[in-house]
Amino acid sequence: GHLLPSGEKGEAAASGGLSVPSPQGGEGQGEGGDTLRTRALAAIDNTRFVPAGGKNRLRGMIENRPDWVLSRQRAWGVPICVFADKAGNVLVDDAVNARILEAFEAEGADAWFADGARERFLGDRAHEEWDMVTDILDVWFDSGSTHTFTLEDRPDLKWPADVYLEGSDQHRGWFHSSLLEGCATRGRAPYNTVITHGFTMDEHGRKMSKSLGNTVVPQDVMKKSGADILRLWVMTTDYWDDQRLGDQIIKTNVDSYRKLRNTLRWMLGTLAHDQGEEIALADMPELERLMLHRLSELDALVRKGYDDFDFKRITRALNDFANIELSAFYFDVRKDALYCDAPSSLRRRAALHVIRKLFDCLVTWLAPMLPFTMDEAWLSRNPEAVSVHLEQFPDVPAEWKDDVLAARWEKIRAVRTVVTGALEIERREKRIGSSLEAAPIVYVDDETLLAALDGRDFEEICITSAITIEAGKGPEDAFRLREVADVAVVPALATGTKCARSWRVTEDVGSDPDYPDVSARDAAALRELAALAG
């Protein structure tokens, strides 16, 4: 049979030895019939390549290869353990093969080259004219045949492999020889998908070498920062090309990891008060429905990203979601309701429901990429569980998707951006210490933006004690952002007394004589908590 390319990395086959006919058929002319080359090219067409350019690279090598041989004339290597006669016919004898196998298992491959090996293995057939082949196998034969000794010999695995993963140089190596051996002996490639990656350089794009002193040892990174930091770097790289790694890049990933871990820790702390209550979607406030809509969008992105082996897209999307949309927006807005609303508050109960969904999705989505961290988080939340790695991705109901709601909140958040920008200047100039000391006036000169804000508790969304919305351009000296040209903000201080519990400045602090230091909302919450405790 036709088994292997002519030699390692394109080297021409040595003359003589046990060669095989041209895969082109006959004297190497023509391309018709069932040849190894036609099988291999068909197998390439039926294989998925990531990135897609790997297909053309491997196809070009197969199309242009010369004859394949499986023998090499070397003084060392794995022997081709066969006997052949003068005409080239190979001896097929189960007893001979059993003796060879027994010797190899006990003594290793060198048993073939030991004195008296011919007589030992041939036994009663030693008087016949069988020559002992002394060539060795092509060096790629070993790696190319690994699929038979792993996938086919283990009951927990299957042939062919779902994925072969290696560096881009293996198109002429492991991928190549595995393809040829699989096609020759099994009629197809031993893999369904081939994924290739580039090489790891230092952070300046130079090849790592001991002489330059720029090597990064994975064990050192894991010892200092943990294995998940190294994994996070891998997941954030464009592995289709060469990657860069160095101290500063590791530090960036440590910072990113810390933010993500802190987000999970905050959710765990908040969910310690969760009773597991399910809230109907129709009963939820818009902000909670917006977060569920975002989960529906991310669910599609995450599943497609894993199917496409596009891990960078997943990590970027989930990191941005955790840092920008959760920590800096949703959690920030909802902390007041979570910390200060009464236990019976629908707003608080809905927030707990949504945070539970956020946690379940984020932790299971990230588990394949950050296995230690996500398992720790999952078991902290679900101590009766075995592992997050035995969980499936949560099912995300189709009804969570709400593009109309998302479009409206895109406008609301655009206006909020101008308000927070104005308040940031007030904080920097020491005119306020917290956004809750402010009661800005917001001028909106756009009907669609005004309609989006109508009926919403915009002071809650902007985390101020009060806010006023006015139609119009606003004064010339008002704060503006070029990106949201039709919105202007005039900062102002909130009037009233600061609530000792929520820190909001309101006019109704002290309205409940039993709780003179807090607002009416907080007094009602404290009374409800006292009743539950009593």
What tens digit of pLDDT does each residue of 422-469 get? 999 999 999 999 999 999 999 999 999 999 999 999 999 999 999 999
pLDDT reported for residue 340: 97
Nearest alpha carbon to residue 469 among 458, 482, 481, 484: 458
pTM (2 d.p.): 0.83
- DSSP of 427-470, one letter per residue? HHTTS-SSGGGB--EEEE--HHHHHHHTTS-HHHHHT-S--EEE
Q: What is the pLDDT of residues 47-62, one digit of tens each?
A: 999 999 999 999 999 9
Round to whole Å and give the CA distance between 29 and 22.
8
Rg (CA), the chain: 34
Cα dihedral 35, 37, 38, 40, rounded to 10, equals: 120
Residue in 69, 66, 67 with CA at minimum distance from that of residue 18: 69
Distance (Å, whole) CA 355 – CA 271: 7
Contact (CB, 8 A) for 66 and 87: no
Say whether pLDDT at 93 is over 60.
Answer: yes
- What was the pLDDT predicted at 202? 79
What is the structure's pLDDT at 76?
80
With beta carbons less than 8 A apart as the criterion, state whether 450 and 486 touch.
no
**Residues in CB range of 168: below 8 A, 6 or more apart:** 54, 57, 196, 197, 198, 199
Average pLDDT on 150-159 reads 90
Is pLDDT at 1 greater than 50 in this prediction? no
Span 214-271, pLDDT tens digits: 788 888 888 888 899 999 999 999 888 888 888 888 899 999 999 999 999 999 999 9
Q: Is the distance from CB of 231 to CB of 239 less than 8 angstroms?
A: no
